Structure 1
């Protein structure tokens, strides 16, 4: 049975599989490799995923949701239309289900197992939420692979080049940077850093604010449909400015037609604060690795946002070399996840590849910094520091702080703050000790972290030999009962047959166009939609591909003659 690789992205998601010919991308029902990570409901309350949902984002913003990967691990819930509330895990599960169906259609067999990529800087809670999403989608995940690591696997297999690589991964909603060294078939991660709330979406919103300020719109008070229309225009402008020095826009907000022009220089100027946020993780990763800028042999770009010329120019100036662009930055991570799937089943073609990784966050426990003083405070004691090569095992001796203490509770944290409460609490364990004066009893605390993200914590009371041990794995955030309940609820949601996806996507696109137009052009689109729906549902007409092609060409013609974005 095949194991697939999935890049579950903020903006787009991609699936790939390891084959005898190497990693191969899997097309969706529309024949495309990128599936927008967008979920919506149609008029019949059936779930739409991908392009069909994306094209309804402007017309039906209350029934459509995007960028929910940024909420993974939080308790945030959203309501689609008047229906049920959805957690980020459930929305992600709907995307994963769609990708799973695509893989099954392409490979001709049931798929139950996947390697899923996550941002390297996802914390324990966010990683567990991703596993919950996979469970809800009917997928077993043996391993979560860090996105830059997956990208390095794909690039390393593609180029067979050795040296020190910097992977610059700027997706729609997250940013990661990793330094990896490739030598004689061994790919070793030296350091990683990132920001899970920084990505291409933030550059889009910077453009959105420029338009809103120029036309005095007050984007915070716009109706949701107008805000969605403004955001879509900003995204189109961002893409246009990647290949042109200036771009014109035209959109209708509050019944008024707004027009203008944005230059690449203006876009870069308003993006400067975001550039400063990009540099901090970059500098941290290089500093943690102990390497010098001149020692970096190549820069690998990952994520669609790296297509922005300003990003490539920044990197070229900083490192004195042009980034590598041999592999499509939108699909690199999925290809690498497929390579990881091949490593899992240990395909003979991959027997000469060894992959190592690092612990992305510091792991430690809370201790009393100055016992027996009025201002005694708890602080984080690092035991395994971030960017330590894994697998790794480290120990620390601790002593009691109170007289007649009969137990020690060890709280396990993940994060970089000196204040424990500012870090992520992974869990805790307790060990009994003999009562005695403060400082007499000692315990040895050992943290062992493996390549699959499992942390084993062992505590030994030195005077008695008593031992407590617990393994904190990438397990679920939700309880088994909650998972079962939500799985059952998702199973009851109406999902249109996969073969209907191309027609539904075209109709969603036409509906969005209809919302934008007025007068005669709107009537033309309405007529085209009615004719298309009639023909596609006519059992006597079997050439559905021809009907869809003709309908799409008509929509293209209307869009070209109506909207300017050059």
Structure 2
């Protein structure tokens, strides 16, 4: 059985594709959301979900929440005297969701589509997949959260939609995706985000705001830091939720049978959150810039994630875009429902036979290089992009590099993911070292091709034209656990992409037509055709399918006008 799971920072949810529609599965308490909380005592008694969250105030040292923010890192939490990594705790939550499905559906799930923030890097995605495996699941696909939400929103009527923006602010992460739907294709144009911005940060800002007047005598200082933070966090969550429906709310907690409380206004909360609200802008601007879409062209601003319920956030979004956002999608359910739809797609359900989804590579992929600085020195450890972020996948791109030293006998390419100029600030994925003929500096060229698919497989091919040698390495998201037959199938699919657009038959034919037209004319007309050919060549060199398509259509149209007007 294949299920869809929204593994969230604050809450998680599970859904199934059943009878031609996505359906959320309630937990043992009848709720559709399960808190992402784990509590383990010294006797190894485990509490999950709401019972674990209830223990946070009384046993904070044995309770963990918001651990999704630590997934993919070496950080650990000590619960019940044992250390647990974020993927271990996530696996316990996933296991509880699987048990809920079995109890409701009478069948145990063995496979899952799990959602992740669009801006999760390779380490975080691998750790999420690891969590699924620890829970006894085969993770068939990781799907970006805003992409899943877009599926739930876009397939409501299966109609074409102009580009719309999914604004996903959850408990711990913030994602933005720009999506377009046409003729059954759900196309993600660009994604951006902030993995350290979410509802938890707004709770912390609220607690910092009220602490001086809530506790002027600093009575909370006598508590252990974990217990104090747990009390303040829980009170902040309750107050923040109350401010979503009122202009004023009480921030209250109980300490040693003494009730401590103070009132907070919506305007005070908004002022305290201003630095956080300002951070919402940058990912939006980046996604718009990468998609080459103006904000005015967006048909909708779709809100996803529980934190978007806050009026301060909705007002900030309205100011940012100059219009009101679309709040028709259930902010807590859309991602899980979208994951179930993706599960239906994976299962080739007849109701989804006409639907296809395309996503983008959220991070730039490239290699480590060294460059001469113009003053006789060499700058090492620099990042050279090969596949730029927000390139539609699957994709294959090539860049050429040459030796930097005389008689150089080998070239080593470190393979990285990220956006920083220095590779030390990016994520290292692997390396490939190749022997090259010893020649003077710059005479030996290496063509490096990256081929990347939607499931995280990255194939790196290096070709040395001087001696004709070819070297390759495969980096998979599953840490080499992919079935050999499945790996070969995916590599064959990528092989179809491994040619430069200049070699594509349609582009070759069009360029030959343009050259023939150039030869047939003289004077200003010839110069103009030559300029068109140069522009088309430039588009081909970008290896960007969208730009190439636009350039091809433009060149065809102009040649049709010339040849159609030629005298008989």
Q: TM-score range by the shorter chain?
A: 0.7 to 0.9
SS in 1 for 2:379: coil
8 Å CA contact 1:128–1:477 kept in 2: the answer is no
8 Å CA contact 1:431–1:466 kept in 2: the answer is no
Bigger drift between 437-446 and 152-161 goes to 152-161
Would the alpha carbon gap of residues 4 and 284 (structure 1) be closer, same or farther in structure 2, given more than 3 Å must change? same
Give a deviation string over 1:287-326, Cα, whole Å, max 9, x none: 1111111110011111000000122222223323322222
Partner of 1:435: 438
Larger RCO, structure (CA 8 Å, separation 6 or more): 1
Give a deviation string over 1:454-479, Cα, whole Å, max 9, x none: 11110111112211111211124999
Partner of 2:429: 426
Deviation at 1:256, TM superposition (A): 4.8
Would the alpha carbon gap of residues 438 and 43 (structure 1) be closer, same or farther in structure 2, given more than 3 Å must change? closer
Q: How does 1:29-428 map to 2 (within 5 A)?
A: 29-42=28-41, 44-82=43-81, 84-161=82-159, 162-214=161-213, 215-216=215-216, 217=218, 222-223=223-224, 224-253=226-255, 256-370=258-372, 373-428=376-431
Residues in 1 aligned to 2:391 and 2:220: alpha-carbon distance in whole angstroms: 44
Give a deviation string over 1:374-406, Cα, whole Å, max 9, x none: 253331111111111111111011111122222
Give a deviation string over 1:145-203, Cα, whole Å, max 9, x none: 00000000011111434111100000000000010011121111111100111100000
Residues in 2 aligned to 1:364 and 1:111: alpha-carbon distance in whole angstroms: 37
Residues in 2 aligned to 1:273 and 1:423: alpha-carbon distance in whole angstroms: 26
Partner of 1:466: 469
Give a deviation string over 1:40-77, Cα, whole Å, max 9, x none: 02474211110000000001101111000000110011
8 Å CA contact 1:150–1:337 kept in 2: the answer is yes
Deviation at 1:254, TM superposition (A): 6.5
8 Å CA contact 2:370–2:380 kept in 1: the answer is yes
Deviation at 1:255, TM superposition (A): 6.6
Residues in 2 aligned to 1:328 and 1:403: alpha-carbon distance in whole angstroms: 62
8 Å CA contact 2:447–2:464 kept in 1: the answer is yes
Residues in 1 aligned to 2:453 and 2:202: alpha-carbon distance in whole angstroms: 36
SS in 2 for 1:369: strand
Gaps of 5+ in 2: 483-568
Would the alpha carbon gap of residues 460 and 219 (structure 1) be closer, same or farther in structure 2, given more than 3 Å must change? farther
Residues in 2 aligned to 1:81 and 1:210: alpha-carbon distance in whole angstroms: 33
Deviation at 1:439, TM superposition (A): 1.4
8 Å CA contact 2:381–2:424 kept in 1: the answer is no
Residues in 1 aligned to 2:312 and 2:479: alpha-carbon distance in whole angstroms: 39
Partner of 2:2: 3
Would the alpha carbon gap of residues 407 and 467 (structure 1) be closer, same or farther in structure 2, given more than 3 Å must change? same
Deviation at 1:103, TM superposition (A): 1.2
Residues in 2 aligned to 1:364 and 1:220: alpha-carbon distance in whole angstroms: 49
Deviation at 1:111, TM superposition (A): 1.2
* Alignment size in residue pairs: 477
8 Å CA contact 1:268–1:310 kept in 2: the answer is yes
8 Å CA contact 2:41–2:79 kept in 1: the answer is no
8 Å CA contact 2:112–2:137 kept in 1: the answer is yes
Residues in 2 aligned to 1:38 and 1:352: alpha-carbon distance in whole angstroms: 39
Residues in 2 aligned to 1:221 and 1:396: alpha-carbon distance in whole angstroms: 60
Residues in 1 aligned to 2:444 and 2:220: alpha-carbon distance in whole angstroms: 61
Give a deviation string over 1:115-143, Cα, whole Å, max 9, x none: 00000000001000001111111111111
Deviation at 1:342, TM superposition (A): 0.5
Would the alpha carbon gap of residues 249 and 276 (structure 1) be closer, same or farther in structure 2, given more than 3 Å must change? closer
Residues in 2 aligned to 1:208 and 1:368: alpha-carbon distance in whole angstroms: 48
Gaps of 5+ in 1: 480-566
